Amino acid sequence: MTSNHPAQQAGPSGAGPSDVGPPEADPSDVEEILSLQDVSVVYEPVGAAPTHAVRGVSAQIARGEFVGLVGESGSGKSTLGFAITGLATAPARIEKGRILFRGRDIASMDQDSLRSQRQGGFAMVLQSGMNALNPVRTIRKHFHDIFAAHRHVPRARREERAAELVGKVSLGPEVLDLYPDQLSGGMRQRVTIALALSLEPQLMVFDEPTTALDVMVQHAVMDTIRDLQASEGFTAILISHDLGIVLESAQRVLVMHDGEIVEDAASADILHRPRHEYTRMLLSHYADPRAEVVTLPGLEDRAVLRSDDPSDASAENPASSSPEPADPSAEPPDPSAARSAPAAPAAPPAPAASSDGASSRRAPVSRLRSGGTELRLQGVSKVYPAARRSGRAVRAVDDVSFTLEPGGATALVGQSGSGKSTIAKLITGIERPSEGTVHLGDTSVGDLGRSGLRDLRRTVQMVFQDPYAALNPLNTVEYTLARAVMNLTDVRRDGARRRVRELLETVGLTPVEQFTGKLPHQLSGGQRQRVVIARALACDPQVIIADEPVSMLDVSLRAGVLSLLRDLRESIGVSLLYITHDLLSARLITDRILVLHDGKVVESGPTARVMRAPQDDYTISLLDAIPNPRRVLTP
């Protein structure tokens, strides 16, 4: 679909160009709604070199199609989305090429005709769409603003139409009376979709519509989008970094890489017969955490759980729908394997640890420390008092007990609001438990004073979720690490400098000299997260708490960071508390798992067993919420 066909603007009636290509057998019923012809978008910031974000993209989208646009960050997918909807603003500029929407070039439209065509034309739903609502106006007013601006709904029908629209996104008419802050993130995103729908667009561009939402909500919102597309018949372009989500929804997928479309094929073809190696690389990072053996490139399954395992005999073989017959990741053709290679020179699955229950105790022999420190939570609860007199006290954590063995790895899993981050705060002493105790060896964390907490930092360290926020943008890598070394250990001057280099080597940022002087913005997300991990390691901690350490990273970078975390555990015997909503990564790097729901532990046990034979309904619904294209597309 990369043929450039010139001279087409002479189609005032928007007649479907019939000269496009072989797939369009009958031009009368397959009308082309959007045509990209060799489109290039360039960012030209003042005083900096221009960046070519989109380079010569050509594509045709037929009316009523559901097309996915997939790529990692920096691939230009959002830039293209903005260009399509006429939202590209300086410093971005459409350098060349044409974007024809029903035969009309979008680039040539002025602001006013752009505005008026939004009704019945094209609309966009943004990633942060839930923040696009004005907090001081009710939802009803948002609808009425749009109706008033376009006057396409008669005054008498407006109330009825607004109720109808929120109904379409599975909300009741009562939300019209509410203010945005009274709605949850998922509800707000539904409202923005309804607002976009109110103009009856023929083309909707969804830019990462669910990325900022919780896993479970994500699933439900995507269902709504799919149903709407089917019932309303608009053409949809779904932009996402998550190939899983896109494959579940879209009929056709465009894969973008470095500003170019590298593959354009039907979803089933992308899944079963990916042609481009970049597509194959993206695909290789999906796996079903319920499978018997879970492998990602650079991350082999460690404690392989055999069904003949005595400890697992009670759990009947789960009805895992697709037991991964031909794993596409068997021979990873991607550069990420080489990427994680230096970090994982010899880390095959822990040899004899087949019994998962015992593996957490036996496998990671803490050869560096005698004893090590055990982290023990007993009946811990945390109650936040009511913010206002009318409000209710929030019980964020409710009677949670668990033990993290020295050198062990435990996952805390749950959706947002399940209390998993509060537990991290309790363990690190940022918050004190309302009931129960947190013990690190013999120390009770809740009773520590200021200096005690400083000492605690030598034992318990944290890896933050967002590597883009966790590093001070103005400090070099060396400064960041050296401060941690000098604060938490007695090493000074040359020793500290040596230690910084050692840390960078440990986390695989080599050659070290290239990285010491860099500022965070000169590093990629994965490299930044490695710096964050290196800082956590500065004082040889015994416990590392990793709060969603890979959720902000592109899939191709995730495996590297995950395998680093796992290897650290084996090489220096640090124990790991891994907080996540992502069950796949939990399966790969932890031995035990606790599933949290509303502050309570609903299920716990060896990770592999819980994933393969979940007992609690909540665990099952968490597992179901994971996008799995194979489930949908496999007949």
Partner 1 sequence: MSENTTRASSPSPVGHRPHPAVEALRGGLRAIWGNRKARIGMILLALFILVALLAPLLAPYAPKDNSFDRNLGASAQHWLGTTAAGEDVLSQLIHGARISVIVGFGAGSISTLIAVLIGLTWGYITGFAADVVNFVVNLFLVIPGLPLMIVIATYLQNGGISVIIAVIAITGWAWGARVLRSQTSTLRNRDFVQSAKFSGERAPRIIFREILPNMTSIIAGGFFGSATAAILAEAGLEFLGLGDSSIVSWGTMLYWAQNSNALLTGQWALLFAPGLCIALLATSLTLINFGVDGISNPRLREGSTGR
Strands 409-413, 394-404: pairing kind: unpaired
Candidates 285, 293, 283; CA nearest to 587 is 293
The sheet that has 32-43: what strands, in order across it? 51-62, 32-43, 92-101, 104-105
Stretch that binds partner 1, among 7-15, 21-29, 361-369, 454-462 (CB under 8 A): 454-462
Least Å distance, CB 542 to partner 1, is 14
Q: Does 521 bind partner 1 (CB under 8 A)?
A: yes
Q: Does 46 bind partner 1 (CB under 8 A)?
A: yes
Candidate list 15, 365, 386, 469; residue touching partner 1; CB under 8 A: 469
| Ramachandran quadrant class, 627 (left: phi over 0; alpha: psi -120 to 50; beta: rest) | beta
Q: How far apart are CA 624 and CA 635, in angstroms?
A: 18
Beta strands in 507-562, from DSSP E residues, in sequence order = 543-547
Q: Does 112 bind partner 1 (CB under 8 A)?
A: no
Stretch that binds partner 1, among 295-303, 313-321, 380-388, 525-533 (CB under 8 A): 525-533
Q: How far apart are CA 168 and CA 149, in angstroms?
A: 22
Q: Which residues contact 20 (CB under 8 A, 6 or more apart)?
A: 3, 5, 32, 60
As a three-state string, the secondary structure of 89-119 is CCCEEEEEEEEEECCEEHHHCCHHHHHHHCC
Q: Does 339 bind partner 1 (CB under 8 A)?
A: yes
Q: If binding means CB under 8 A, how many residues of this protein chain bind partner 1?
A: 57
Q: 239: which 2 tokens?
A: 């932009």
Candidate list 10, 90, 136, 156; residue touching partner 1; CB under 8 A: 90
**Cβ–Cβ < 8 Å for 331, 298:** no
Tell me the one-letter amino acid at 426. L
User: Is 517 in a helix, a strand, or coil?
Assistant: coil
Q: How far apart are CA 632 and CA 199, in angstroms?
A: 31
Least Å distance, CB 523 to partner 1, is 6
6-45 residues in contact with partner 1 (CB under 8 A) are 45
Candidates 186, 132, 131, 142; CA nearest to 165 is 142
Candidate list 74, 333, 436, 441; residue touching partner 1; CB under 8 A: 74
Least Å distance, CB 481 to partner 1, is 9
Candidate list 560, 573, 614, 629; residue touching partner 1; CB under 8 A: 560
Q: Does 319 bind partner 1 (CB under 8 A)?
A: no
Q: Does 532 bind partner 1 (CB under 8 A)?
A: yes
Least Å distance, CB 495 to partner 1, is 16
Q: 579: which 2 tokens?
A: 């907080």
Least Å distance, CB 88 to partner 1, is 10
Candidate list 210, 480, 542, 628; residue touching partner 1; CB under 8 A: 480
Q: How far apart are CA 426 and CA 565, in angstroms?
A: 22
Q: 602: which 2 tokens?
A: 């609903």
State the alpha helices, DSSP H only, in 285-327: none
Give CA 418 to chain center in angstroms.
18
Stretch that binds partner 1, among 79-87, 153-161, 294-302, 461-469 (CB under 8 A): 461-469
Residue closer to partner 1, measured from CB, 557 or 611: 557
Least Å distance, CB 341 to partner 1, is 10
Candidate list 373, 556, 563, 607; residue touching partner 1; CB under 8 A: 556
Stretch that binds partner 1, among 83-91, 189-197, 220-228, 356-364 (CB under 8 A): 83-91
Least Å distance, CB 485 to partner 1, is 9
Three-point CA angle 594, 597, 602, nearest 5° = 50
Candidate list 474, 490, 494, 635; residue touching partner 1; CB under 8 A: 474
What is the dihedral angle through the alpha carbons of 34, 627, 562, 260, rounded to the nearest 10 degrees? -10
Q: Does 247 bind partner 1 (CB under 8 A)?
A: no
382-421 residues in contact with partner 1 (CB under 8 A) are none
Candidate list 13, 89, 111, 231; residue touching partner 1; CB under 8 A: 89
151 burial class (0-12, 13-18, 19+ CB within 10 angstroms)? Answer: exposed
Candidate list 48, 156, 319, 326; residue touching partner 1; CB under 8 A: 48
**Which residues make up the interface to partner 1 (CB under 8 A)?**
45-49, 72-74, 89-91, 339, 342, 428, 454, 457-458, 461-462, 464-466, 469-476, 480, 483-484, 487-488, 508-510, 517-519, 521-527, 532, 535-536, 538-539, 554, 556-557, 560
